[in-house]
Structure 1
Amino acid sequence: MEQQQDITTSALMQQLEAKLPKVNFYRFCQLLEQITDYELKMGTTESPVDDPIRFAPSKEMSFPAGELLCIEREPYLKRPITVRTRFLGLYGVDSVLPPVLLDDIVCKADGYQAVIDFLDIFNHRILTQFYRIWLKYHYPASYLNGGKDPVSRCLLGLTGLGIEGTHKQIGTPVSRFLALLGLVTQRTRTASGIVGVIKVLVADCDVDVEEFYTVWVNVPDRSKLGDANTSLSGNSVLGSRFRECNQSVRVIIKPRKAQLVEPLLPGGQLHQDIMTLLRVYLGYQVEAHLVLSISSAFLPRTQLIGSTARLGQTASLIQLNTKPREIKVNIGRYRGLAA
């Protein structure tokens, strides 16, 4: 009883009570669970004693203008705090019981209170289970911050990120990958997948991926005459480097707002997040070259006392009466394995 009194006297509960006819039933139950913060959620135990309040339908037969009617308190009768609803229940407008029983309750005939007390045992269980069923099949409602709910953990398990301690290895909250389940669970890594990964972090940008991007690869151990480990028809390479295009892609990011330029540069938060997500998505199979395509209209004014312009990246000389042009800046390279 003491816990129930604390719940109804809380500031949030008083605000809800003032607007109770306008409150949604499901949302009301969620707020109750957040206020109580019990490990045992409402309707999950065998006894209603563990629930903070009771649910019962309204005894009125009028047209239901809302889902909830009022909160009843009867401390002198030692009754638990009851929230009257206007749907479901074994009596009221949605009742399926014989009209004889309903007429006795509406007219308050002799013994009607005993009938109500008996039916309320089932009414509370019906309404709480109705809420539990809705919560089970509505993933957005049962979602917990950080993806800690059971459904999110199962979904992350499909991607291999449901193992305990994974977030420490990838360096970012695993809940970010809930928006990438369709991409991460694919057996191959595609250009559209890279675009989707970046779009999750930077929605206001255009992303273009150039597949089979040609790069020069240095040969650390050049072929030499007399080398027993080198075969002329096998692994011998002429020169100190060769061109390779099978494991490299070029990712061009074009922001639509000037405010996104600074965070996308090396050292910015968005740049770090993109590199982290690419590490999880690409793994060790692909090497990605990141390029930032900036409109000259987004470049900050270069000043000796300013810290926004970077030499070699965003610093530029003022050119009057010129149309905006695109400036490409290399912002890094992701390498799964060092060559």
Structure 2
Amino acid sequence: MTVIELNEKIKPSVLKYSLSQGVRVVMTYLKELYPREKPKDLYERLRFKSNPSLSFAKSELSKIEFLETPEGKKVELTLNFMGLFGAASPLPSHYCEMVLDSAREDSELKDFLNLFNHHIQKMIYPIWEKQRYYIQYQTGLEDKFSKYMLSFLGLYNETKVKSSKLNFTKLLPYIGILSMRQKSGGTLTSILRHYLNHQNLEIIQCIEMNEKIPSWQYSSLGDNNCTLGSNTLLGESVKTKGSKFQVLLKNVSFEECFTYSLHGEKMGELQELMDLALNEPLEHELCLEMKKEEIKPYQLSQHYLGINSFLGTVNEDMKIILNH
């Protein structure tokens, strides 16, 4: 696209743009012209100027013009605010009038003052961009702010992020919650629903399990741990409901049954997410609840034993429990 074509295309919309919108539109065109250059290098192709007119400014931008130079295409943006001359100048009006009068004969004074205007106005967009994460965001969490967010989870190291199975982009809204030491069942439920994109999910607490008794807590008659009602325990294990919970996924499809198995992708992600979310040494199990209508007849080479193989006719909903 030539300079003339670019100027004709952008001219009708200049007065509708704010400064940030104008810069982003110009950067889009420059990216198409120079796809290999980084955003910082493209931004250096912009030149900011002030409008010497003393009339009331209708918009932030007065003019956007693409120029052809020996170094390639560059863009001049003429601003109606924050300049050493013009309607928004902090200087006395007679200085602005002097610049306006001299601009009709030659532009030496105006060009000289625009050197200072450029360096002042050049900082406006980076300051605006710094406070807006949706502008800074880069695919793969390569931007600085995303890395700062991941550091709350101890994942500022790029090696850890790249070697992980988790999609940290999905976890960004919950980083503040994940960094908390204590998490309730409702909090964990909302995190899993969002990450797994499965709304029909529940956390069932207080699942019964057998807890092994450490050898130093064994009862030894006449020696240790033999006070009735205090520390006497019989056997090598005890039933408890305080150390295990269940992640229940309802209405799981037949295809999802495989993805949550040991051979699927989501099993590894779920396990890593639970390790990241839980600070307490709690055990958990995954329960997949399938409607009987979802279960397909067994076929050779299309089903996996112990995962999604069902023999005979299934007349009721099935629950598949996977221990981690």
Change (3 A) 1:104 1:126: closer
Tell me how far apart the structure 2 counterparts of residues 102 and 35 of structure 1 sit (CA, whole Å): 44
Picking from 299, 302, 306, the partner of 2:297 is 302
Check conservation: 2:7, 2:65, Cα contact below 8 A.
no
Consecutive unaligned residues in structure 1, runs of 5 or more: 1-7, 43-50, 334-339
Picking from 126, 133, 137, the partner of 2:120 is 126
Check conservation: 2:257, 2:308, Cα contact below 8 A.
no
Tell me how far apart the structure 1 counterparts of residues 2 and 118 of structure 2 sit (CA, whole Å): 22
1:1-339 equivalences under 5 Å are 18-19=9-10, 21=13, 24-28=21-25, 31=28, 36-37=37-38, 42=43, 51-57=44-50, 67=61, 69-73=63-67, 75=69, 81-85=74-78, 87-90=80-83, 98=93, 101=96, 105=100, 109-111=104-106, 113-162=107-156, 165-167=159-161, 171-172=165-166, 177-219=171-213, 223=218, 230-233=224-227, 236-255=232-251, 260-283=256-279, 285-299=281-295, 301-305=296-300, 307-308=302-303, 311=306, 313=308, 315=310, 317=312, 326-333=317-324
Deviation at 1:293, TM superposition (A): 1.8
Check conservation: 2:65, 2:75, Cα contact below 8 A.
yes
TM-score (norm 2): 0.72
User: Deviations 1:201-228 (Å, cap 9, x if unpaired)?
Assistant: 2223322112222112345869586797
User: Deviations 1:302-325 (Å, cap 9, x if unpaired)?
Assistant: 232352565564636556xx8xx6
| Higher mean C-alpha deviation, range 236-245 or range 129-138 | 236-245
User: Deviations 1:39-86 (Å, cap 9, x if unpaired)?
Assistant: 7784xxxxxxxx23312356777975795843342649x998332345
Q: Secondary structure at the match of 1:141?
A: helix
Q: Secondary structure at the match of 2:104?
A: coil
TM-score (norm 1): 0.70
Change (3 A) 1:171 1:86: same
Letter in 2 for 1:88: F
Check conservation: 1:213, 1:248, Cα contact below 8 A.
yes
Change (3 A) 1:88 1:327: farther
Change (3 A) 1:189 1:170: farther
Deviation at 1:277, TM superposition (A): 0.6
Consecutive unaligned residues in structure 2, runs of 5 or more: none
Change (3 A) 1:198 1:30: farther
Change (3 A) 1:191 1:114: same
Alignment size in residue pairs: 307
Tell me how far apart the structure 1 counterparts of residues 96 and 220 of structure 2 sit (CA, whole Å): 104
Deviation at 1:258, TM superposition (A): 6.2
User: Deviations 1:155-189 (Å, cap 9, x if unpaired)?
Assistant: 33333333565437855465554332222122213
Letter in 2 for 1:153: K
Check conservation: 2:46, 2:77, Cα contact below 8 A.
no
Check conservation: 2:252, 2:289, Cα contact below 8 A.
no
Check conservation: 2:170, 2:195, Cα contact below 8 A.
no
Q: Secondary structure at the match of 2:321?
A: strand
Check conservation: 2:208, 2:241, Cα contact below 8 A.
yes
